[in-house]
Structure 1
Amino acid sequence: MAATPAPRLVERSRQAARAEVARTGVALFLERGFDATTMDDVAAAAGISRRTLFRYFGSKEEVALGHLSGLGDELADALRAQPDDVDVWDALVTTFEQVLPTALAADDGAARALSQLVESTAALRAAHADKHRLWIDALTPAVAERLAGSPDPQLAARAVVGTVLACLDAATHEWLCSGDTRDVGELALAALRAVRGTR
């Protein structure tokens, strides 16, 4: 498989600016509350115009959760890079081991606060569910390719991907509601292994 070319400097600069605006927006949401914060507030705090803000993000929900947008495609690419002879579930666990630490890298306190904000805000819960659907759409074809010999590869793939996301939800719940000191990525991998019955 050919290596993916590195983003050009302009695109890297845009990604860095987008990430900085998102951090500013999330900090405002945590300070003032999601519903009480407007896009104008985010633009002012970030020192950019409203027009520029909307070039980066189409909504407040996207400001809060935009960092998850490309995760489905990233997971699908990593899964396709796994050896063909590896069992689909083992390949998925390896994929998440490779992708999650980077995808979820953040200050633990800030990440936990954002997760709690999502759990307590109806609009963000709905937006997060939409992200899950995008991940399912991205991952299902990659899983189906590994199940091509099964009677219903698309059905089986969608069921497997749904189970994976249920593991992520279980890990997030445990992370928020228990005293477990592991980070959410570690808990997600533990949940994936638990479903398979492996350690």
Structure 2
Amino acid sequence: MPESAVKSLRERARDGAREHIATEAMRLFLEQGFDATTIDQIAAAAGISPRSFFRYFSTKEDVVLGGLSSQGEAIRDALESRPAEEGPWEALRAALLTLRPLGRTREEQLAIGRMIHETPSLRARSIEKHLGWQRLFVPDVKRRLGIPSQDHDDPRAHAIVACVLTCLDVVGEFWTRGDGREDIADLWDRAVSAVRS
């Protein structure tokens, strides 16, 4: 069997194991709370040793928020595909609205949102992940503002992206607090309008 095929099988097995652990962990988090759930409990539910848990996840927080890095890359790709003449605020809004939680019911999204916003370690980790998004989005925003990529003295692109990510965090919290009754795009538009006024 070719090495590439073997690697592909290994990767698929690893991805499957990671998904299984994450599913069991999320079930426990939602049933008994994030802080009350131990790595030993997650490992037992997933049928692995606690040591094996750390082959797939660095921390409990990464089980909940590990996908944010790939989501950031997907948003960056959507941003870069927006029309060149579109302004940075409009392009970022359109790119962010492509982000949809896959395979989660509205109730699950709300429960996960509450858990993130009510657990200090998850909230801090989420903000840290969003700072990684800032590095991904700034180059395209600089291009839209006509700022040369090598110009490191102009703060405008960084400021816009930082505002956008703060609005995203606030909107997520308010959507969760309101039990998802408000349209998230409407909340977004109201938050950004206040920042830009």
TM normalised by structure 1 equals: 0.78
Q: What is the alpha-carbon root mean square deviation over aligned residues? A: 2.6
The worse-fitting range, judged by mean Cα deviation, of 109-118 and 148-157 is 148-157
Percent identical across equivalent pairs? 38
Paired AA for residue 142 in structure 2:
A
Q: Could you list the runs of 4 or more consecutive aligned residues of structure 1 that deviate by over 6 angstroms after TM superposition?
A: 150-153
Q: What is the aligned partner in structure 1 of residue 88 from structure 2?
A: 88
CA distance in 2, matches of 1:153, 1:193: 29
1:120 matched to 2:118? The reply is yes
**Counterpart position of 1:108:** 106
Whether the 8 Å contact between 1:28 and 1:42 is mirrored in structure 2 is yes
| Residue in structure 2 matching 1:190, options 186, 191, 194 | 186
Are the aligned partners of 1:73 and 1:138 in contact in 2 as well (CA < 8 Å)? yes
Alpha-carbon offset, residue 55 of structure 1: 1.9
What is the deviation of 1:13? 4.8
CA contact (8 A) 2:34 2:119 kept: yes
Are residues 1:170 and 2:170 paired? yes
Distance 2:166 2:94 in 1: 17
CA distance in 2, matches of 1:35, 1:176: 19
Instruction: Please state how far the C-alpha of 1:33 moved relative to its aligned partner.
Output: 2.4
Bigger shift: residues 154-163 or 14-23: 14-23
How many residue pairs match? The answer is 184
Asked if the contact 1:136/1:158 (under 8 Å) is kept, the reply is yes
Alignment of 1:44-193 (within 5 A): 44-98=44-98, 100-101=99-100, 103=101, 106-149=104-147, 154-178=154-178, 180-182=180-182, 186-187=183-184, 189-193=185-189
Larger radius of gyration: 2
TM-score (norm 2): 0.79
- Distance in 2, matches of 1:165 and 1:113, equals 21
CA distance, structure 1, for counterparts of residue 174 and residue 188 of structure 2: 13
Seen in structure 2, the aligned counterparts of structure 1 residues 75 and 12 have a Cα distance that, compared at 3 Å, is farther
Unaligned runs of at least 5 residues, structure 2:
1-7
Report the Cα distance in structure 2 between the residues aligned to 1:9 and 1:81, rounded to whole angstroms.
32
Cα distance change of structure 1 residues 91 and 56 upon mapping to structure 2, 3 Å threshold:
same
Gaps of at least 5 residues in structure 1 are 1-7
Aligned counterparts of 1:190 and 1:105: Cα–Cα separation in 2: 23
Q: Matched residues in 1 for 2:76 and 2:91: separation? A: 11
Alpha carbons of structure 1 residues 9 and 190: separation in structure 2 relative to 1, 3 Å: farther
